[in-house]
Amino acid sequence: MNGAEYIIKALKAQGIDTLFGYPGGCIMPVYDALLGSGINHILCRHEQGAAFAANGYARSTGRVGVCLATSGPGATNLITAIADAQLDSVPLVAITGQVPTGLIGTDAFQELDVLGLSLSITKHSYLVEHIEQLPQIIEQAFQLATEGRPGPVLIDIPKDVQLAQIPESLPEARLDQQIAQTPNQEQISQALTMLRESKQPIIYAGGGITLADAVDEFRALVDTTQIPTVLTLKGLGNLPANHPLNLGMLGMHGSVAANNLVQQCDLLIAIGARFDDRVTGRLAQFAPHAKVIHLDIDPAEIGKLRQPGCALTGEIKTGMAALTIETHIAPWREQCQAEQAVNGYAQTKDPSSASAAEFLSALGELAEKDAIISCDVGQHQMWVAQYYPISHPRRHLSSGGLGAMGFGLPAAIGAQLANPQSQVISISGDGSFMMNVQELATISRYRLPIKMIILDNQALGMVRQQQELCYAKRYSEIDLSDNPAFTAVAEAFDIPAAMLNEDADLNKTLQAFLSIPGPALLHVPISTQENVWPMVKPGDSNEQMITGASA
């Protein structure tokens, strides 16, 4: 067999049954080998869409997502989605074609140094220079993508390597298996002492819990310790939305209760979280009275931004199991629950402009309990985080670290293909939706039953909000009032569509929309002036939260 045929064989050996991609000159041998292979290839309409779809496939399952592209612009179009996977620790393998080895370095047609371009946004990148390297590199790529802290790996394969014959005898693949570190007994003893001495602890839980497949263990930890808990954007769903110890999301658009209580705590137990600036606000003033216990598999995160009093480095299931003890903090727990009852999201939203909150709350009541929500980036992303009841972190797909507009629609494609029996709902703003609108063709072609919602305020809402609050209402290039008729756009792709009118019955409209058997789009106009509350201005302390009333 040739190299391209071997690639397909190796992907099947890795359990890959679905690929996302777009063909072109230097990846054509692989596409030729795909014919009759039994692998389901999804033709997206832009390479970024393909990589985001692979990203959504991986986020919703924990399995490796795989995308294909040709050299030059095909490869560069993958870059944003690869960067998203790197910042959110998503297992992804991107395979790109490259010009023949004899042309590398000659500025050949569609030649770019993809290896160099990708080094800072991948766990590792490979350029396959000889056919004999191919088997080893593919094995290593999948191992690296999944072991330890997951992430993206890129394999750049010249066209002549794809066409070269695989030698009859190949050196045996040598894989250095990474053994997960576990916290030592001294660290555990120190953490237990800190926990027992604490009177006002808070658990700060992030996306690393999902990556460790440790949601059940985390819930057992919270239920046993009875410690009030705050969640990051990627940590939403670690606890059910209605859990009595779930104080909600913290940070820039976290609840007043969550941010206030973190500022008061005497012990912060950070699990699979990285003290991101959107969480901490002004770092020097974040949880100023708290000692820190930090559980994380990645040693690079320990002490990177906040020096912990105790680090439990390694596989976090072990660390959580060690901390799963009874505590005696009833007064603090009652204080937290009382604060949440007064200053949770439902109490701090702006009553004069609650349409987005009301819509998403109603959607949460009517959608299937385990529906997968794929969210774009902007105001609507924060409203989803605040008001939609996320049941599990893998049911909430959102571009966290990169904040990439255009993520939601193609990520929903990947999630739907990976979870064909699940209800998948894509929620976009009008700005984000237009960034990968071409993927409506993919949804239509494969008749994917994705329910698409556009919250349309005819503006780049999050930018407009910051210009209102931080730039003296000097609005610059945020007007999207010339949006197309989104229902007509959807219908052009043979997708049923409707607009939510002001006088329509919200529940009946949503029930009818969600019951459509195939894909469907709902256009939801909202006020341009509607803001996300609460908010911490960039550079401010979380204590300086503003609400609609105080803006």
- Residues catalogued as catalytic: 47, 109-110, 159, 462
Nearest-angstrom CA–CA distance, 42 and 22: 9
Nearest-angstrom CA–CA distance, 457 and 525: 6
Residue 424: C-alpha distances to residues 44, 58, 377 (Å): 18, 15, 17
Surface-to-core class of residue 216, CB atoms within 10 Å of its CB (0-12 exposed, 13-18 middle, 19+ buried): exposed
Which SS3 state, helix, strand or coil, does residue 279 take?
helix
DSSP assignment of 429-471 equals EHHHHGGGGGGHHHHHHTT---EEEEEE-SB-HHHHHHHHHHS
Nearest-angstrom CA–CA distance, 290 and 109: 57
Residue 404: C-alpha distances to residues 53, 75, 208 (Å): 13, 18, 20
Instruction: Report strand pairing: 291-296 vs 310-313.
Output: parallel
Nearest-angstrom CA–CA distance, 414 and 358: 28
C-beta of residue 132 within 8 angstroms of C-beta of residue 170 = yes
Query: CB neighbours of 505 closer than 8 A, spacing ≥ 6?
Result: none
Query: CB neighbours of 327 closer than 8 A, spacing ≥ 6?
Result: 195, 196, 198, 201, 225, 226, 227
Query: CB neighbours of 346 closer than 8 A, spacing ≥ 6?
Result: none
Instruction: Report strand pairing: 40-43 vs 92-98.
Output: unpaired
Nearest-angstrom CA–CA distance, 314 and 331: 33
Surface-to-core class of residue 162, CB atoms within 10 Å of its CB (0-12 exposed, 13-18 middle, 19+ buried): buried
Largest Cα–Cα separation, the chain: 73
Nearest-angstrom CA–CA distance, 35 and 151: 29
Q: Which of 157, 42, 51 is nearest to 98 (CA)?
A: 157
Q: Which of 154, 163, 165, 79 is nearest to 123 (CA)?
A: 154
Which SS3 state, helix, strand or coil, does residue 520 take?
strand
Which SS3 state, helix, strand or coil, does residue 108 take?
coil
Nearest-angstrom CA–CA distance, 247 and 236: 11
Which SS3 state, helix, strand or coil, does residue 508 take?
helix
